[in-house]
Amino acid sequence: MDKVALITGGARRLGAAIATQLHAEGYRVAIHCQHSVTEAGALAARLNALRTDSAVTFPADLRDDAAPSPLVAAVAMHWGRLDALINNAAVYQPAALATASIEDWSQTMDVNLRAPFLLAQAAAPLLAAGEGGIVNVTDIYAERPKAGFVIYCSAKAGLVGLTRALARELAPAVRVNGVAPGAILWPEAASAEARQALLERTPLGRCGDPADIAQAVSYLLRARFVTGQIIAVDGGRSLND
């Protein structure tokens, strides 16, 4: 049977690119979504038109600590296996130390750090059965924090630490790695001046593409002797920041 990948936040943007890439490589893809149900359904329909019963949507609110285990169980029940877990879902919102609330903290940490931990915990036995892998989508801001995003940067730094800890914990049966995007898709609020300034700090001088992240994820799932690594896909920007 084809391998199965669960992609959280898989309905749009980076998640949709990852789902599409893995599907093209022969995976059956479980597309997790929360609010983007319509987009997830459209993506699944498009992929199923290419290959029958190769894509299914699984709505779940990852802010709920009771959601990850049933999500993994539902994927396993549908296809009988799980070979790859891609923790892509994230909350990206500004929060400065002086004004951040407990709700800001909880909302960001629950999705960006707690959910990947709980998903890995639930998925580990299934992944180990097939010597599968986990890829966490981190951020270059995990190691080079952005002012005004103290909670987001802390959560992503925690995800980097979780990636490395899980790589030790789950070896040798399961490999765990991360991809740290740079400028791939602009935030809607980013001004032209901010975009230009960022590109000037990027040696390749341009914005990346979601396919760049998807290809890095694909590589890490195939790289049988790589674990505990974070690959920066940022056009060289981390050389300067």
Report the catalytic residues: 152
Q: How far is CA 14 from CA 35, 84, 103, in A?
A: 16, 16, 26
- Give the whole-angstrom CA distance, residue 58 versus residue 90: 16
Distance (Å, whole) CA 200 – CA 152: 24
- Measure Cα distances from 240 to 26, 137, 206 in Å: 38, 21, 14
Write down the number of H helices and E strands in the chain.
8, 7
Distance CA 83, CA 127 (A): 5
212's tokens: 């760049």
- Whether residue 194 contacts residue 146, with contact meaning beta carbons closer than 8 Å, is answered with no
Reference 142, options 15, 17, 232, 9; nearest CA is 232
Phi first, then psi, for residue 132 (nearest 5°) are: -85, -160
Tokens 């391998």 belong to which residue? 3
d(CA 77, CA 122): 13
Contact of 110 with 63, CB cutoff 8 Å: yes
